[in-house]
Chains A and B, each alone.
Chain A
Amino acid sequence: MNTFFQLLISALLVSSLYTLVAVGFTMYVGVINLANFSHGDTCVMGTFLLMPLFLFATKMGWMTPLAGLVIPALIILVILVTGLWGAGIYKILVKPLLVAPRLILLLASVAAGQVIREAIRVIYPNGSNPQVFPKLLPSGGIELSGLTLGYDSLTIIFLTIACIISLNFIIQRTKMGLAMRAVSQNSDVSQIMGINIEKTIISVFILGSALAGLAGILNGTYYGIAKFNLGSNLGIKGFSAAVIGGLGDFQGAIIGGVLLGFIEVFASAYIPNGSQYQDVFSFLAVIAFLIFRPSGILGEKIFEKV
């Protein structure tokens, strides 16, 4: 029974990480119909931004007395920087290509991801090799009848839920969110309702990239390791979760992320030799969805217009 609960917790953790990536991924699809394949690499950018900052703070001796303040501050700093990166990507890459066919923008996003990946490899000391990610979250945990709930795990799950709730609030209850939902449905009509679509799209890029930054940090803390090329895998997982839930659908991305996490963890635990094939299970699920229900769980059926 205990193994089952341990598995449940790690499934929740993996789900949290995937959901965070998927929610960002699906926002781009929802609002400007773009599969942004640099999203995973933006996450890794967050991972690799945090490490030198952490080392610096440790060197300055801020960590021992003030870790509880400094670490959140560092995380916020990284989120701000990746958010800024999102704005930059919009200005440099997306805006000039907005009128081009979306496929071109998609390829451009693949290129942007490549730039991040190679930049990390070249700039970061010994960047081609895996790096040890610092322990950011408190160790220890709560013991519940032989079951350990680590504080770090709880923090990751809690932060993910907090992010999703605030994002949902932004989308459903604020003027900016209304603009995003309107632009996603009809950008011409949105403009004549007075929506500044450029401002709306740039907010999507800032929000999405900021979210990616946090996802990267949490991913690093969970696995304790940082690799320059983790982004493509992470991006594809986010994409897969978004596809399973229904591309462009916010709630769909959450469902997809959770489902993907559970499939991966439980399949690799209960299928003999499964852990070697962890990725295979999730991609099989995606392929099954693409074949049998390409619009995803929540996505509407795509009708051929006559």
Chain B
Amino acid sequence: MLEVNAINVKYGKSIVLQDVSLSIQQGEIVTILGPNGSGKTTLVRSIVGLTPITSGEVNFFGQKLNHLKSHQIVAKGIVVVPEGRGIFPKLSVEDNLRTGYIFLENDRDVMLEKIQDAYTRFPILGQRRNQLAGTLSGGEQTMLAVSRAMMRKPKLLLMDEPSLGLSPKLVQQTFNIIQELHQAGTSILLIEQNAVKALAICDRGYILQKGKVVLNGPKQLLISDERVHKAYFAME
């Protein structure tokens, strides 16, 4: 469904992504692993059109996304949980949830239903519905970001390090939700630093280093690869 073909991204003279290609099939969870500064976030940003691509192309269900604006790209059925959660700190919890729906869909009743779903899943959000989102704790903000992503039924969910800075319990909870969404048929592109957890739930993965894909394949291959083992599992 999503195909990234040999994209290059440059900021001024420095090359951030070099000939990166990847693909996701319907219903898959694909993970992208890589250290800080390897270009993971830039990859997400270029897929949704926030960072311009120097060359190469991005296709979604056979449609070229390159020259579309971000709001047109996400309208095709892509939902993003951005880096650092990306909640709006000076909007109320409920308004944050609204932003996940109202600009792309029109059915008010469905929206209210989805908001209720979010409150059922995370009662704490319901209790704080009128509070400014910036006053929530980090964990609650993640709940909000995930709930906001679930306001629409995405064809593809892009998650940029959803577990960053969370307590182990919340990390587990976040990964449970990701799996749940996957079982409901959502295709997911998961960017992570938490390789152990990400590899445990993914179907396939890509390892990104200094802007290049250095390894890709099904999860067994990645787990057994010596370099991956050294880089990510040595401490375990």
Which A residues are closer than 8 A to B by beta carbons?
A: 175, 178-179, 181-182, 185-186, 188-197
Inter-chain contact A192/B48, CB cutoff 8 Å: yes
Residues of A within 8 A of B45 (CB): 188
> Count the A-B residue pairs with Cβ separation under 8 angstroms: how many?
63
Complex CA–CA separation, A195 to B104 (angstroms): 8
In the complex with contacts A175-B102, A178-B98, A186-B74 CB distance below 8 A: no
Cβ distance A122 to chain B, nearest Cβ, rounded Å: 40
Which residue in chain A gives the minimum CB-CB distance to B82? A189
7 contacts between A and B (CB under 8 A): A181-B95, A182-B88, A191-B48, A191-B49, A194-B71, A194-B104, A196-B71
Cβ distance A203 to chain B, nearest Cβ, rounded Å: 14
Which residue in chain A gives the minimum CB-CB distance to B44? A192
Q: Which of B49, B82, B87, B103 contacts A194 (CB 8 A)?
A: B103
Q: Which of A175, A186, A191, A196 contacts B88 (CB 8 A)?
A: A186
Inter-chain contact A192/B74, CB cutoff 8 Å: yes
Q: Which of A178, A181, A189 contacts B102 (CB 8 A)?
A: A178
Question: B86 an interface residue at 8 Å Cβ cutoff?
Answer: yes
Complex CA–CA separation, A178 to B71 (angstroms): 15
Inter-chain contact B80/A196, CB cutoff 8 Å: no
Question: B70 an interface residue at 8 Å Cβ cutoff?
Answer: yes
Q: How large is the interface on B (under 10, 10 to 19, 20 to 34, 35 or more residues)?
A: 20 to 34
Cβ distance A43 to chain B, nearest Cβ, rounded Å: 29
Q: Which of B50, B69, B86, B100 contacts A196 (CB 8 A)?
A: B69
Complex CA–CA separation, A182 to B95 (angstroms): 9
Q: Which of B50, B75, B91 contacts A182 (CB 8 A)?
A: B91
Which residue in chain A gives the minimum CB-CB distance to B151? A193
A-B complex: 4 closest residue pairs judged by Cβ atoms: A191-B70, A194-B103, A194-B104, A189-B86
Complex CA–CA separation, A195 to B75 (angstroms): 10
Inter-chain contact B99/A191, CB cutoff 8 Å: no
In the complex with contacts A178-B99, A182-B99, A194-B71, A189-B48 CB distance below 8 A: no
Cβ distance B66 to chain A, nearest Cβ, rounded Å: 16
Residues of B within 8 A of A189 (CB): 82, 86-88
Residues of B within 8 A of A185 (CB): 88-91
Interface SS, A side = helix
Inter-chain contact A178/B95, CB cutoff 8 Å: yes
Complex CA–CA separation, A186 to B48 (angstroms): 16
Residues of A within 8 A of B99 (CB): 178, 182, 190, 193, 195
Residues of A within 8 A of B82 (CB): 188-189, 192
Which residue in chain A gives the minimum CB-CB distance to B73? A192
B12-32: CB near A (< 8 Å → 1, else 0) gives 000000000000000000000
Most chain-A Cβ atoms within 10 A of its Cβ — which of B69, B70, B87?
B70
Inter-chain contact A193/B90, CB cutoff 8 Å: no
Cβ distance A163 to chain B, nearest Cβ, rounded Å: 23
Complex CA–CA separation, A188 to B69 (angstroms): 11
Complex CA–CA separation, A299 to B95 (angstroms): 21
Residues of A within 8 A of B86 (CB): 186, 188-189, 192
Inter-chain contact B71/A191, CB cutoff 8 Å: yes
Which residue in chain A gives the minimum CB-CB distance to B133? A185
Complex CA–CA separation, A32 to B95 (angstroms): 20
Cβ distance B72 to chain A, nearest Cβ, rounded Å: 8
Q: Which of B71, B87, B148 contacts A195 (CB 8 A)?
A: B71
Residues of A within 8 A of B98 (CB): 178
Inter-chain contact B91/A191, CB cutoff 8 Å: no
Cβ distance B232 to chain A, nearest Cβ, rounded Å: 28
Cβ distance B111 to chain A, nearest Cβ, rounded Å: 11
Residues of A within 8 A of B71 (CB): 191-192, 194-197
Residues of A within 8 A of B50 (CB): 188, 191-192
Which residue in chain B gives the minimum CB-CB distance to A188? B50
B41-56: CB near A (< 8 Å → 1, else 0) gives 0000100111000000
